[in-house]
Amino acid sequence: SDMDPLGPDSPLVFATGPLTATQVPMVSRYAVCAISPLTGFWGEATSGGKFPFRLKGTGYDGIFITGKSEGPVMLHIENGQAQLIRANDLWGLDTYQTQAAIREKLGSSRVSTACIGPAGERQLSYAAIMNDRGRAAGRCGLGAVMGSKNLKAVVVGGGRRPEYADKKALNALAKDAMAAIKGDLISVALKEYGTLFYMDMAMALGDVPAKYYRKSVFPAEKISGQALRQKYTVETYACQGCPVGCGREVKDVRPDLKRVDGPEYETAAAFGPLCMNYDLDSIVEANHLCNAYGMDTISAAVSIAYLMHLFEEGVVTQEHTGMPVPWGDGAAIIQLVHMIANGEGIGKLLGQGTLGMAKAFDRDTQEAAQVKGMEIPMHDARAFNGQAVSYATNPR
């Protein structure tokens, strides 16, 4: 597209599906769409939680946003009424602080917020949009599009429900779906261990990339769903209307980290084996920081793994980075996450993603683990041929 993804004319869309807010299970999803600042193509990210039900509950199926506000604002839609509210007091807050401040400001716990953190405000090319504490519309940099419009948050509430053409048939469909979900082994695994249940199985299939996509064998038992539960107190939660509950909250990581979200499989694989890092504390913390800053864990971690690869090759030295970045250094990973979010030092370059990094260091761009500018996720294209075709041909 010729349109600047971060220009005021560039549209930003929040949309629910036709089944959202019905009694059919597992339908609490919303999609955010815009031209991706990372790729220049169609950008789409989805998320769960309560936000999708509450967006549908406003009486609208979706929101179409263009233009740019003069100063920071939040969009509040409740029971069919929409208003823009000044949000200067929220600008600069992280995503958890923003959500808490909005609940206090509106004096209501019956609203859900989708917001950006400092990464989106800075228009980092892979900034995420966060809702319901730690749920992420993570990919494609759509948080940067929100930031470019000075839109700090979208807040929704309401109890409206869709009208049904055939309520009896819908109820029967919902009942069948519920039985199928509850009787499925993957549902049991997801309930017990979250998306991290897949880690050891995925390694057996050759699906988890390690050492910047150069290996596929690693000590999976150190960062599996079981390992997480053995090391910490882990609580579970579900998105609205979901009988499984794959969401994780990890408690008492450190005295100052009492309760944090996740990590999900993608994040654990990216900050874990992709960086040859098997220190769970640093993986959990890196995930929490990305959530708080509001940025995509996949693009951030792949960029860090690429830096570690370039450091090993001697292309990048301590002069560039200000510190050693060897494989598996959890402390360096944490430091780099801060630097990316704040645009400091080498973090500024890492914030452009692997394609920008390859060009900056005059490397063959084939070495950058990306498609059309967006970093490849934690499914190795060599494990499943269909996945490779999908990566190569899709706009996102």
- From the first residue on, what is the mean pLDDT of each consecutive set of 10 residues in the chain (396 residues)? 91 97 96 97 97 97 98 95 97 98 91 98 98 97 98 96 94 96 94 96 97 97 96 96 96 90 97 98 97 98 98 96 97 98 98 98 97 96 92 90
Give the pTM: 0.97
Rounded to an integer, what distance in angstroms lies between the CA atom of residue 142 and that of residue 10?
Answer: 11
Q: Is the dihedral of CA 68, 337, 199, 211 positive or negative?
A: positive
Report d(CA 396, CA 373) in Å as an integer. 10
The confidence score (pLDDT) of residue 1 equals 60
**CB-based burial of residue 70 (10 Å sphere; 0-12 exposed, 13-18 middle, 19+ buried)?**
exposed
> What pLDDT, on the 0 to 100 scale, is given for residue 339?
98
What is the spatial order of strands in the sheet that 112-115 belongs to? Answer: 81-86, 73-78, 151-157, 112-115, 129-131, 135-137
Which letter does DSSP use for residue 248 in this model? E
* Kind plus residue range of the DSSP H or E element containing 339: helix 330-342
Rounded CA separation 183/329 (Å): 42
CA-closest candidate to residue 154, choices 250, 286, 79, 63: 63
Rounded alpha-carbon distances, angstroms, from residue 259 to 125, 248, 315: 28, 10, 39
* 235, 251 Cβ separation under 8 angstroms: yes
What single DSSP character describes residue 366?
G
The pLDDT of residue 183 is 87
Give the model's pLDDT for residue 395.
87
